[in-house]
């Protein structure tokens, strides 16, 4: 088996302005992200030969990778929509690496955008997860509910508290306060968190992420071709996935998730360990998701996340800065696409506000998480 560690690199990245974009559409946000990415990479759409995207949430956007390619002037030799929820942006990069190494494409755009903060009038119908009719008749409607089940169980098994979860939200907000392209920038206190209203107990409002408009894209090519691009290339060192259940009804546990095996695969591919990571851009749809993933990724033992997230360990300057852009909780919720672009910027070393730059960043880990805590993807990135 060939080890794909370091065979491919990210040579371009783009982000849209995030937050409320009332005049934008799902299509325009994707195109805006692609344009920003290609401009950053210094190439034209005609030089791209692959495109991957996340299945949009409306059935008028079927076979969207092909549609988007041609809207952008790309003639793809490889294109597909992936559908792993918030694990998709990382999975797209993984598929790009596999397509490039298989000789099916050389230069692949991975793009994701959503319009969820303001209305996106569309001719189609919304796509749903598919098993809501086994949940909604009993009043279970929201992702907040699924993650609240995990939080309640983590509290029961390990004694984690709402105050412990607050440390994730407070640190992430601090990073957002340093990021000009973040939605919520006012620093958060423990009182703010504890006084925020209960949404689905035990999760409060400030345990929940944002609903956002925006998008991002990255450009993947072989390590050899990466030398021809103007910006510092970011090497893809490790990749993994694990999808340990589909719904809450078949989840063997809600306190260890796909991140454990997914990260083990990625660490093995990269030949690296948790202690080698200098930052972690961890999917934070809810505070509990990030806390569980920090445990699953081996930064601390299972059940010790409640103490690990304290004392500045996960804040810039600490042991493992978590979500240096402000994450889904405070920057924008774009299914973790901006966790990837943020990792690229950190590893380039001169593209974020100096106050939130990880000093001498050489290697970091990125996570994606989707569905009813069901799907997980991991990527380890390094500066070349």
> Which positions lie near other proteins, rule CB under 8 A?
125, 131-142, 144-145, 148-150, 152-153, 156, 197-202, 248-250, 254
Alpha-carbon span 44 to 35, nearest angstrom: 9
Minimum distance of other proteins from residue 257's CB (angstroms) = 14
Minimum distance of other proteins from residue 57's CB (angstroms) = 15
Task: Check: CB of residue 48 under 8 Å from CB of residue 218.
Answer: no
Alpha-carbon span 378 to 282, nearest angstrom: 9
Number of other residues whose CB lies within 10 A of the CB of residue 257? 26
Minimum distance of other proteins from residue 152's CB (angstroms) = 5
Find the radius of gyration of the CA atoms of the chain: 19
Complex with other proteins: residue 197 or 275, whichever CB lies closer = 197
Cα–Cα distances in Å, from 92 out to 187, 240, 309?
Answer: 33, 12, 29
Complex with other proteins: residue 201 or 384, whichever CB lies closer = 201
Pick from 89, 107, 99: nearest CA to 10: 107
Complex with other proteins: residue 77 or 199, whichever CB lies closer = 199
Complex with other proteins: residue 153 or 362, whichever CB lies closer = 153
3-state DSSP call for residue 262?
A: helix
Cα–Cα distances in Å, from 68 out to 30, 88, 96, 211, 318?
Answer: 8, 17, 16, 23, 41
Pick from 9, 29, 8, 26: nearest CA to 18: 29
Complex with other proteins: residue 153 or 231, whichever CB lies closer = 153
Complex with other proteins: residue 125 or 359, whichever CB lies closer = 125
Minimum distance of other proteins from residue 146's CB (angstroms) = 9
Task: Check: CB of residue 109 under 8 Å from CB of residue 337.
Answer: no
Residue with tokens 């290339």: 233
Complex with other proteins: residue 165 or 254, whichever CB lies closer = 254
Minimum distance of other proteins from residue 7's CB (angstroms) = 37
Minimum distance of other proteins from residue 157's CB (angstroms) = 9
Cα–Cα distances in Å, from 162 out to 5, 155, 287, 297, 328?
Answer: 39, 9, 10, 22, 19
Minimum distance of other proteins from residue 143's CB (angstroms) = 10
């Amino acid at each position: 088996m060939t080890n794909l560690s370091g065979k491919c690199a990210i040579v371009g990245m783009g982000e849209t302005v995030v937050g409320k974009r009332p005049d934008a559409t799902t299509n325009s946000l994707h195109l805006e992200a692609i344009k920003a990415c290609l401009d950053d990479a210094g190439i034209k759409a005609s030089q791209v030969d692959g495109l991957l995207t996340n299945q949009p949430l409306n059935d008028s956007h079927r076979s969207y990778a092909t549609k988007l390619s041609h809207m952008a002037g790309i003639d793809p030799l490889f294109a597909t929509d992936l559908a792993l929820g918030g694990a998709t942006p990382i999975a797209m990069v993984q598929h790009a690496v596999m397509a490039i190494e298989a000789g099916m494409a050389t230069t692949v755009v991975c793009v994701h955008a959503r319009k969820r903060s303001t209305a996106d009038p569309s001719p189609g119908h919304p796509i749903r997860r598919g098993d809501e009719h086994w949940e909604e008749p009993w009043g279970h409607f929201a992702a907040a509910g699924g993650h609240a089940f995990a939080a309640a169980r983590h509290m029961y098994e390990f004694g984690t508290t709402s105050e412990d979860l607050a440390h994730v939200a407070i640190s992430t907000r601090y990073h957002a306060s340093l990021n000009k392209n973040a939605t919520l920038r006012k620093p958060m206190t423990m009182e703010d968190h504890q006084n925020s209203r209960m949404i689905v107990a035990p999760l409060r409002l400030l345990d929940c992420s944002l609903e956002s408009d925006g998008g991002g894209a990255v450009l993947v090519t072989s390590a050899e071709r990466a030398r021809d691009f103007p910006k510092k290339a970011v090497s893809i060192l490790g990749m993994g996935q694990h999808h340990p259940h589909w719904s809450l009804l078949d989840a063997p546990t809600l306190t260890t998730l796909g991140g454990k095996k997914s990260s083990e695969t990625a660490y093995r591919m990269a030949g690296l360990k948790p202690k080698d990571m200098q930052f972690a851009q961890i999917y934070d749809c809810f505070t509990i998701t990030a806390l569980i993933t920090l445990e699953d990724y081996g930064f601390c033992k299972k059940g010790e996340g409640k103490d690990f997230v304290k004392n500045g360990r996960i804040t810039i300057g600490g042991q493992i800065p978590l979500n240096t852009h402000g994450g889904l909780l405070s920057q924008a919720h774009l299914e973790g696409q901006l966790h990837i672009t943020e990792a690229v910027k950190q590893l380039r070393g001169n593209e974020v506000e100096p106050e939130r730059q990880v000093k001498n960043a050489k290697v970091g880990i990125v996570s994606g998480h989707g569905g009813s805590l069901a799907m997980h993807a991991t990527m380890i990135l390094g500066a070349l």
